[in-house]
Structure 1
Amino acid sequence: MNMCIIDVEIVDETRHVATSVFRLPVELLLYYQGKNYHCKISTDAFEFYSFLANLQASHFASTEGLPVADCSVEISWDFQMWHLELITGLVIIVSSCRYLLLKTWPDFAESSEAANRQVLTSLEPLDYIVVSFLPGVGEEFLFRGALLPLFGANWPSALAVDAVFGILHLGSGRKYSFAIWATFVGLAYGYATISTSSIIVPMAAHALNNLIRGILWRYTSSSSK
């Protein structure tokens, strides 16, 4: 009886936090519709709501006795102090690897430039914070918060989910080199999710890496003019 009460409280808390966060895309969509960024906001909103639907569906299926993992239990909102060390390590590793690849892999540098121009060109400096936060949260909700626990929070599932994550980063000037890079980064965030059972860690690392990428691109673009 006590276990049932605890389980319901966990699901209700997760749903409350997720629903509160999901109000953001609608407001941001209205703000950014004049900045040619509304398509990206819509994508992030889709990722948010896909996570919420998966959360509710997996919990219902699990409580009905179906062989489906309850995503609200597999992945939590827990945060501990040692998670800061992991976030810092992920930011250093991912940002350093990205910088080295930009200097040594022309095809990747070209793909990255195309992606940055498409998203960042028309934004003001303060907008970079929003641009960094939304994909970091939205993509982690969908891939590490929904798909990874749904198929099993383990390495085989992480490889499959992050391969899809990489493939979906193709297009709009982004080549296979960019997809390979996205798969590698997805595996890093998958490792963080599996080792901590917390969605907060990959979200924070993803958003910070996006912010560093945007700031460096803006600085180097301004210096080259």
Structure 2
Amino acid sequence: MRKSRLYILGLVTLVLFPLIGITIIGFVEDNPWAYEIPFQLGWHFQTIIGLVFGVLAGFLAWRMIRLPFMTPVRAKYGVLIHQLGLSTFDIFFISFCAGVGEELLFRGALQTYLGIWPTAIFFVAIHGYLNPMDWRISVYGILMTLIIAILGYFTADFGILTSIVAHFAIDVVLLFYLTKSNPDETD
């Protein structure tokens, strides 16, 4: 994949996903203009909570990916990421687009109607991490489902910015390590 296509996909996620969420809200709510996206805590508290949790969750996910039984998964995704030749800016851009776009759709809109756990399972499943044909990626998917459900609770209790920042941080950690590591190494 060329970097230009990656940037287009990032921008589509950043713009189109929230628009899909707004459209869903418009169809479901009697008065969509009265719909409130959760924002209970101040932005600075949400940012700190999201950043701390996101970095810790990213490291936890990376530790799992580094386990010997995950070598085939790490090799598959590591090769894909290595082929992109991501710079630090690329990693931050992709993570920002995914964090904002996906969280506004999934936690900002869908979670209201589906609930925390169904939304978390759906989110992880459409990313391909709950695959009955690949038990290794499904083990990773179970961990990610727990992490994403926590983001759902963060949105409900603290506000959407907490989940956006956490998602961003998780992606930065994972993309950074996948980009900088040898896919065949184990701990």
Partner in structure 1 of residue 83 of structure 2? 121
Structure 1 regions of 5+ residues with no counterpart?
A: 1-31, 64-68, 152-156
Distance 1:120 1:189, change over 3 A: farther
What is the correspondence of 1:57-206 to structure 2 with a 5 Å cutoff? 57-58=27-28, 61-63=29-31, 72-76=35-39, 79-104=42-67, 106-107=69-70, 109-119=71-81, 121-125=83-87, 126-151=89-114, 157-170=115-128, 175-196=137-158, 198-206=159-167
4+ residue runs over 6 A deviation: 171-174
**Contact persistence 1:75–1:199 (CA under 8 A):** yes
C-alpha deviations, 1:4-34, integer Å up to 9, x for none? Answer: xxxxxxxxxxxxxxxxxxxxxxxxxxxx965
TM-score (norm 2): 0.75
Q: Distance in 2 between matches of 1:206 and 1:33?
A: 24
Partner in structure 2 of residue 53 of structure 1? 23
**Contact persistence 2:39–2:160 (CA under 8 A):** yes
**Contact persistence 1:140–1:199 (CA under 8 A):** yes
Report the more deviating stretch, 165-174 or 207-216: 165-174
Kindly state the Cα deviation for residue 211 of structure 1 after the two structures are TM-superposed.
Answer: 0.9
Q: Which structure would you say has the larger Rg? A: 1
Task: Give the SS at the match of 1:73.
Answer: coil
Distance 1:218 1:208, change over 3 A: same
Kindly state the Cα deviation for residue 80 of structure 1 after the two structures are TM-superposed.
Answer: 3.4
Distance 1:80 1:159, change over 3 A: same
Structure 2 regions of 5+ residues with no counterpart?
A: none
Q: Distance in 2 between matches of 1:169 and 1:144?
A: 15
Kindly state the Cα deviation for residue 164 of structure 1 after the two structures are TM-superposed.
Answer: 0.9
The CA RMSD over aligned residues, in Å, is 3.4
Distance 1:112 1:140, change over 3 A: farther
RCO (CA 8 Å, sep 6+): is it higher in 1 or 2? 2
Q: Distance in 2 between matches of 1:163 and 1:96?
A: 21
Count of residue pairs the alignment pairs up: 179
Q: Distance in 2 between matches of 1:85 and 1:42?
A: 25
Of residues 126, 148, 173 in structure 2, which corresponds to 1:212? 173
C-alpha deviations, 1:137-166, integer Å up to 9, x for none? Answer: 121111101111234xxxxx1111111112
